[in-house]
Amino acid sequence: MQLARVHNLAVSLDGFGAGADPSLDAPFGHAGMRLMEWFFPTQTFQAQTGQRERVEVQGASDPDDRYARLSFVGIGSGIMGAGKFGPPGWQHDPAWTGWWGDEPPFHSPVFVLTHTPRPSVTRGDTTFHFMSASPAEALEAARQAAGGLDVRIGGGPTTVREFLAAGLIDHLHVVQVPILLGRGAHLWRGLEGWEREYDAVSETTPSWVTHLTFTRKEAAR
């Protein structure tokens, strides 16, 4: 069975997965990088960025890394929303190919949901396909492209919320950061009772974030 999985989605205590007013200079808007500080010292992040960004890997981040690395295990394709692929208005810039430079960390086909599709573009071993589709349609396309492996729903929070609301997510890993953003893109709105068909486990790490993992109950499959 191919699962639809979400990993490393950081949210504030008040449920925002990104701040307000995202831009080229501030991809997370007014939140800055505060939602991702737990991630930067992990081996997984450092391996992604290679020489591009130097942050010392910290041993204290090992418990976080155990979660972070799962995002890259058993994944055959990905889906992301337009808001994750670029800053507002990227659709009007034909030269925009994502935040990730020549070596995006996805290593698989990624389907970008946008109302203004464009031709596919390849960077490194990642090919971005652009499509205007419902969550279910996008998931079907991504499954077919995944070579039998799982599909990562890569965010942002609004896109993940739509997939959650549609009942399409099998595995959700959320990293709760004890900050209050007050505004931005909310993950949880309108999902009353969503958790009932999932088993939830949680773990707090030395970085004071809490990793929450929801896995669909067998009986609900």
Residue in 165, 212, 215, 216 binding a copy of itself, rule: CB under 8 A: 212
Binding test (CB under 8 A) with a copy of itself, winner from 195, 197, 217, 220:
195
Rounded to whole angstroms, how far apart are CA atoms 190 and 135? 17
Per DSSP bridges, beta strands 198-204 and 75-81 are unpaired
Minimum distance from residue 196 beta carbon to a copy of itself (Å): 8
CB-side neighbour CA atoms (13 Å) of 213? 14
Span near a copy of itself by CB under 8 A; candidates 50-58, 72-80, 111-119, 206-214: 206-214
Complex with a copy of itself: residue 96 or 194, whichever CB lies closer: 194
In this complex, which beta carbon is closest to a copy of itself, that of residue 118 or of residue 183?
183
**Sites for a copy of itself among residues 74-93 (CB under 8 A):** none
CA angle 121–124–130, rounded 5-degree value: 25
Find the binding residues for a copy of itself in span 23-52 (CB under 8 A).
Answer: none
Burial 143-162 (b: 16+ CB within 10 A, else e): bebbeebbbbbbbbbbbbbb
Asked if residue 191 binds a copy of itself (CB under 8 A), the reply is yes
Per DSSP, 2 falls in state P
Cis ω before 156 (30° cut-off from 0) = yes
Minimum CB separation of residue 83 from a copy of itself in Å reads 20
Query: How many C-beta neighbours within 10 Å does residue 203 have?
Result: 13
Q: Which is nearer to a copy of itself, 136 or 200 (CB)?
A: 200
Residue of 114, 138, 176, 185 interacting with a copy of itself (CB under 8 A): 176
Contacting residues toward a copy of itself, per CB under 8 A = 13-15, 176, 178-183, 188-195, 200-204, 208-210, 212, 214
